[in-house]
Amino acid sequence: MKTNSNRSFYLIPYVVWMLLFVVAPIVLVGYFSLFDLHGNFSFVNYQNFFTSVYLKLTLSSFWYALIITGFTLLIAYPTAYWLTKTKHKQLWLLLIIIPSWINLLLKTYAFIGIFGVFGPINKFLELFGIGKQQILYTDFSFIFVSVYIFIPFMILPIFNSLDKMNPTLIDAARDLGSSTWNTFTKVIFPLTINGVKSGIQAVFIPSLSLFMITRLIAGNKVITLGTAIEQQFLVTQNWGMGSTIAVFLILFMVIIMILTGQKDKGELVNGHNK
Amino acid sequence: MDTTSKFSKLYLTLVFVILYAPIFYLIFYSFNSGGTMSSFESFTFEHYAAVFEDTRLIMILINTIIIALLSALISTAIGVIGAIGIVYLQKRKSRNALLSLNNVLIVSPDVIIGASFLILFTMVGVKLGFASVLISHIAFSVPIVVIMVLPKLQEMSSTLVDAALDLGASKRDVLTRVIIPYIKPGIFAGFFLALTYSLDDFAVTFFVTGNGFTTLSVEIYSMARAGITLTINALSGLIFIFTLLLVLGYYFVTNRAKNPLRNGVPK
């Protein structure tokens, strides 16, 4: 008991840090959202948010995030699954992770060249007689590059949950006459749903807030919530409106965290009860 | 059975090719004398020479590395102390509250972190530049360090600490000779992750960097917005090698640290 005061001493720098850089910034964003462009207290930003312009923006941002997350999951799940079947799986996993450590800007920049009018993809298309296409600055290029960026972040949690799964369960399902597809949908996928959820969390929230890729690859044609915030803060200097969008983005974030997090707590509890 | 394994190999190869192709594409054209990323004329090192002759770019590179090292060091210190504090917390509720605060910063999109820090710094009066960038990098790295160190602390048996105390170790000894050595792998992992997060960060830095100060990511962004310059390609070649060395170094260090017993025996 006597060590208690000493032990809480450890907490002081950390708690101060968290108050300063987690609580204070969020409070400030909420506070600033209540002021209009001229510094007067008002709810005008919230009224503006519920106009068609911002609602459309929010919807399209969600739509893009949904497509990006969907494709990422579609590509990442089989990759993670077959990675666990390889001989040196940890080495292969490391090789999958390395590209995610290369600076994001450089990878995005590479696609400016690859998708360019004279780039390799267009050369390839010409070879087949399809001719030059405008690939850069389209929805396709935006989604492709985003999926490319996010794939390792989806593979990692799914790989981990697949790796933890008891392989005898699959054998048991097979022995009991389950088909490969049934084994997957009834045994493997439900058991790895937590990995899928954390993968979705790791991809969906960032894709709502992308702003660098929208500028470089989508050429300002795609506006996500992140792009809108950046625009309000750094271009039009309307911090009030920017903060309001940020408040909603934080709200969406919390909702997504609850949706993708709550259940796995329950499952854990069940597991312990057994 | 055989066809699925063939298909799986093909699929994995395809994913690997797609993941690596853009990086090697960048590096390939860094040796192009032509000045574009579409037609390779002849082999040259001139773009690499241009990187090293550009004193401004070198300064930015040094700034980026200083910020990364400093922020990783400081956030590791704060994070390790914080993690020890969290583990010692008796009340489960306050522990969970702190952990969820910790998670908020990890899950928060960069844009939110950047924008809210920009407000914070202007309100408090921190001048935008080196200080603001350093502080924000420390801020988003601390929770990562905590997450990396916490499992190691939790798996440590409390009898170890009791034994040390019974044998007459001071509290300081317990920390520096029992706890810290035990959680070393976690500390290393946290430090390296903080380092890579800092080196990689674009969005947060973009918000809180003023006019005078730039890091590599922000500089690449403004260069890329202006169009294709093969200097960026040469930079990416250098960064790729640097990243590989960092990853290899990390694995070397953690694999050595993984088994403290084995390291202890030869002594």
Q: CATH for B41-234, among 3.40.250.10, 3.40.50.2300, 3.40.50.740, 1.10.3720.10?
A: 1.10.3720.10
pTM, two decimals, is 0.87
Q: What residues does each domain of chain A span? A: 51-273
CA B77 to chain CA mean position, Å: 15
Residues 237-266 of B with CB under 8 A from A: 239-240, 243-244, 246-247, 251
Which letter, b or e, does each residue of B25-40 get, where b requires 16 or more Cβ atoms within 10 Å of its Cβ? bbbebbbbeeeebbee
State the residue for tokens 């792998």: B185
Average of per-residue pLDDT across B97-116: 90
- Which of A210-224, B66-80, B170-184 has the highest mean predicted lDDT (pLDDT)? B66-80
User: Which CATH topology does A51-273 take?
Assistant: MetI-like fold (1.10.3720)
Q: Measure the CA angle with vertex A266, ends A273 and A249; round to 5°.
A: 160
pLDDT at A226: 93
- Answer yes or no: are the C-beta atoms of B185 and B258 closer than 8 Å: yes
Least confident of A14-18, A74-78, A85-89, B257-261: B257-261
A205 vs B107: CB contact, 8 Å cut-off? yes
Residue A209 in this model has a pLDDT that exceeds 50: yes
pLDDT at A63: 96
Report chain A residues whose CB lies below 8 A from the CB of B244. Answer: 98
A113 vs B228: CB contact, 8 Å cut-off? yes
Find the CB nearest A106 among B26, B81, B105.
Answer: B26
Q: How confident is the model at residue B2 (pLDDT cuts 50, 70, 90)?
A: low
3-state DSSP assignment of residue A39: coil
HSE, CB side, 13 Å, CA atoms: give it for residue A83.
28
Find the CB nearest B221 among A94, A212, A239.
Answer: A212
Greater pLDDT, B95 or B119? B119
CA-based torsion, A59, A63, A66, A68: positive or negative: negative
In sequence order, the 6+-apart residues with CB closer than 8 A to the CB of B229 are B223
Q: What residues does each domain of chain B span? A: 41-234
Residues 44-73 of B with CB under 8 A from A: none
Report the distance separating Cα A48 and Cα A65, nearest Å. 23
Q: pLDDT tens digits for A5-43?
A: 556 777 888 999 999 999 999 999 999 999 888 888 889
Token code pair at residue B8:
């799986």
- Which of A40-49, A86-95, B90-99 has the highest mean predicted lDDT (pLDDT)? A40-49
In sequence order, the 6+-apart residues with CB closer than 8 A to the CB of B29 are A113, B36, B37, B40, B230, B233
Residue B266 in this model has a pLDDT that exceeds 70: no
A94 vs B247: CB contact, 8 Å cut-off? yes
A208 vs B109: CB contact, 8 Å cut-off? yes
- Answer yes or no: are the C-beta atoms of B116 and A29 closer than 8 Å: yes
ipTM field = 0.86
Nearest CA in chain A to B11: A79
B105 vs A82: CB contact, 8 Å cut-off? no
